[in-house]
């Protein structure tokens, strides 16, 4: 790292923060030195703390980070999914109820939200016109969901989000750490010029494993957030009922084992979204985090670790989320498709073409605002929490 010696970095720092020089070589052992350290062919000294942590400790750190993040940013996830589902044709009002509004309906001052036009009185009950149920933006989604469905509906799908986030990140971050360390050690000895690409490759492979393993839960969460329960007093279906509802139309088929493929509907679009997301995120995050932590040096504590990782994660997550938004729109559209046979025949390319024809560039970037607003804090929270817990575990082990 230019202008910062390896010795000036905290000894507990994760290997990613000290081991790779994005200029293409190994980190010099002394400030201003252009030659590799004599020990550069082996594990870097600063990597020891990171490699001492086992898979369980890494998974525990990651699961805790995912738990916190999933709860905080879930309302933004609901807003993004609702906007994308609406663009795909999902209705958030009951057509039968709207058709019942006749010429005798009386205008009232009833409003469902500040952006709603005047409602109608049908009998003695105030009823909103269809345009009241059209979402016009992120804040509009928040206002209308709270007004029409209740405040807690902003956390719709949180149980599926937690069920998804804990195993996903529990697989993703530990595997990323391990793969990155392996790739860095191998390239340091055999191809130093490829060492800067270790975060990109490790992040892509780790994310692919996590996506494939947890795709059914992602399917359930997307459907739970996209669809609205119209019947008063009826609790919307949870994660398991949602998954059962996906499989039910195919239950009578003789190919029962093959039919379970429907639970992985949209996994291709999810991989097409998450692998580039991970590659962009990690290749942006690592050099930024390394520079911030290099400024801290040995005086660093848990607060400085948290701040550096959150800042780097926030910027990297926001950039990656914006760049991959069209693939996120395609994933949502495939997973909310209620025609099971059509959903299984659809491809990511066909879906993107359909979105482009119907909505153009605006359609491809539907929900980009809440997606970016969600991803920045989410990545920042996950990364900073993960590294702080690793730091605390390492401090406990050394003491």
Which domains does the chain carry?
Answer: 53-88+133-398 (1.50.40.10)
Distance, in Å, from the CA atom of 349 to the CA atom of 230, rounded to the nearest integer, reads 33
The residue behind tokens 């839960």 is 217
Tell whether the model's pLDDT for residue 143 goes beyond 60. yes
Q: What is the reported pLDDT for 41?
A: 37
Distance, in Å, from the CA atom of 83 to the CA atom of 85, rounded to the nearest integer, reads 6
**Buried b / exposed e along 194-226 (16+ C-beta atoms within 10 A):** ebbbbbbbbbbbbbbebbeebbbbbbbbbbbbb
* Residue among 333, 326, 330 at smallest CA distance from 368: 326
**Which one is predicted more confidently, 259 or 264?**
264
Q: Helix, strand or coil for residue 131?
A: helix
**Which one is predicted more confidently, 166 or 102?**
166
Does pTM surpass 0.85? no
Render pLDDT for 162-187 as a digit per residue (tens, 0 to 9): 877 767 667 877 888 889 999 999 99
Render pLDDT for 322-363 as a digit per residue (tens, 0 to 9): 999 999 999 999 988 877 778 778 888 999 999 999 999 999
Tell whether the model's pLDDT for residue 233 goes beyond 50. yes
Tell whether the model's pLDDT for residue 12 goes beyond 60. no
Q: Is 127:120 a contact under the CB 8 Å cutoff?
A: yes
Tell whether the model's pLDDT for residue 240 goes beyond 80. yes
Specify which residues 126 forms β-bridges with. Answer: 121
Of the listed ranges 155-159, 253-257, 324-328, the least confidently predicted one is: 253-257
Q: What is the reported pLDDT for 327?
A: 94
Q: What is the reported pLDDT for 90?
A: 85
Render pLDDT for 82-92 as a digit per residue (tens, 0 to 9): 999 999 888 87
pLDDT, mean over the chain: 76
Top-confidence range, 81-95, 137-151, 291-305, 357-371: 357-371
Q: Helix, strand or coil for residue 28?
A: strand
């Amino acid at each position: 790292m230019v202008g910062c010696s390896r010795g000036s970095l905290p000894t507990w720092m994760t290997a990613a923060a000290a081991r790779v020089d994005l200029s293409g070589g190994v980190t010099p052992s002394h400030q201003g030195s252009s030659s590799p350290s004599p020990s550069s062919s082996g594990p870097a000294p600063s990597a020891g703390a990171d490699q001492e942590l086992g898979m369980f400790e890494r998974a525990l750190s990651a699961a805790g980070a995912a738990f916190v993040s999933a709860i905080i940013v879930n309302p933004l996830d609901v807003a993004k999914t609702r906007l994308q589902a609406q663009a795909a044709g999902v209705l958030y009002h009951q057509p039968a109820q709207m058709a019942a509004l006749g010429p005798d309906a009386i205008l009232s001052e009833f409003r469902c939200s500040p952006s709603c036009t005047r409602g109608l009185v049908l009998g003695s009950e105030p009823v909103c016109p269809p345009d009241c149920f059209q979402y016009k933006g992120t804040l509009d989604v928040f206002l209308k969901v709270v007004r029409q469905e209740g405040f807690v509906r902003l956390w719709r799908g949180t149980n599926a989000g937690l069920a998804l986030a804990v195993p996903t990140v529990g697989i993703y971050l530990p595997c990323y750490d391990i793969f990155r360390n392996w790739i860095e050690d191998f390239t340091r000895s055999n191809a130093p010029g490829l060492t800067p690409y270790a975060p990109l490759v490790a992040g892509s492979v780790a994310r692919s494993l996590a996506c494939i393993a947890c795709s059914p839960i992602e399917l359930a969460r997307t459907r739970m957030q996209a669809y609205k329960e119209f019947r008063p007093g009826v609790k919307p279906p949870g994660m398991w009922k949602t998954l059962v509802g996906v499989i039910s139309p195919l239950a009578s088929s003789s190919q029962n084992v093959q039919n379970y493929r429907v639970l992985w509907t949209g996994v291709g679009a999810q991989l097409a979204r998450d692998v580039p997301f991970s590659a962009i995120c990690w290749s942006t995050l690592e050099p930024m985090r390394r520079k911030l932590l290099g400024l801290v040096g040995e005086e660093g504590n848990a607060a400085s670790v948290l701040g550096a990782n959150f800042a780097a994660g926030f910027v990297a997550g926001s950039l990656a989320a914006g760049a991959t938004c069209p693939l996120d729109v395609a994933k949502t559209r495939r997973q909310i498709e209620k025609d099971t046979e059509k959903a299984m025949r659809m491809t990511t390319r066909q879906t993107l073409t359909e979105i482009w024809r119907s909505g153009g560039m605006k359609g491809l970037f539907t929900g980009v605002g809440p997606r970016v607003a969600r991803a920045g804090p989410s990545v920042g929270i996950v990364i900073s929490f993960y590294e702080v817990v690793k730091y605390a575990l390492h401090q406990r082990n050394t003491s």
